[in-house]
Amino acid sequence: MGDFDLSFFNADLFTKFIEKGLVFSLELTLVATLGGLIFGTLLALMRLSASGLVVRIATFYVDTMRSIPLVMVILWFYLLMPVLIGKPIGAELSAFITFVAFESAYFSEIMRAGINSVGAGQKNAARALGMTPWGAMSLVVLPQALRNMTPVLLTQTIVLFQDTSLVYAIGAYDLLKGFVTAGRIFGRPEEAYLLAAVVFFVLCMALSMLVRQLQQRMAIVRA
């Protein structure tokens, strides 16, 4: 450890090796968040359905996904999907699909809690105004549920960003791989891992502080 040196890290190295990985990690986080929120809301509505079969299907999917480590889902999808469709789909595309499918299960539980947090009086009032059940849900309940769950959704997004480092297992060029590649080329693997940890910490800490401020503002508004 006597020759520990961080001087190899500079703006040129960032542009050549790190920037590409950072962009992919952010894109993966954004796509997985939006996709997870859309499909997660659908799963939440299925779990609140009056149909027992629909509830069981959604529950099975959510419980299964939440019971398997994400890295295993990433590896299974990446290795098995080419066998099923007869051609490779690439590490990046595989990561996008896997993350949306996996995060949908977690976002569905958040949205289900948000929907349940909206008082029955809101739903009854919407129905009294002549709204259909779907109209009441989409125009009255879901907007309030989304607002109530915004801090929790953002917190899950931070966790999602941290989890993007797992796509390194299938060779996708994410933020972590950018640092590892630079460290290997410059012969500084320990320093590269340390810098990657620092970058993840700074980004996630900054986002956590923003979420905390948002929670405080929402608490003031509700008060």
Q: How far is CA 87 from CA 43, 73, 83, 84, 92, in A?
A: 30, 19, 7, 8, 15
**What is the tens place of the pLDDT at every residue in 143-196?**
888 888 888 888 999 999 999 999 989 999 999 999 888 888 888 888 888 888
pLDDT of 1: 46
Find out whether 43 and 104 touch, Cβ atoms under 8 Å.
yes
First to last CA, the chain: 54
More confident residue, 55 or 134: 55
pLDDT of 157: 92
pLDDT of 134: 76
**What is the tens place of the pLDDT at every residue in 71-105?**
999 999 999 888 888 888 889 999 999 999 999 99
Tell me what the pLDDT averaged over the chain comes to: 87
pLDDT of 221: 54
Residue 4 DSSP SS3: coil
More confident residue, 218 or 91: 91
Interatomic CA distance for residues 207 and 175, integer angstroms:
17
What are the backbone angles phi and psi of residue 4, rounded to the nearest 5°?
A: -60, 125
Helix H or strand E segment including 128: helix 120-128
Spell out the domains of the chain, with CATH numbers in brackets: 11-222 (1.10.3720.10)
pTM, full prediction: 0.86
pLDDT of 29: 95
Token pair of 180 as six digits: 């590892």
Find out whether 106 and 156 touch, Cβ atoms under 8 Å.
yes
More confident residue, 112 or 130: 112
Q: What torsion do the CA atoms of 71, 66, 123, 55 make, to the nearest 10 degrees?
A: 120
Residue 136: which pLDDT band, with cuts at 50, 70 and 90?
Answer: confident
Residue 218 has pLDDT above 80, yes or no: no
pLDDT of 222: 56
More confident residue, 48 or 135: 48
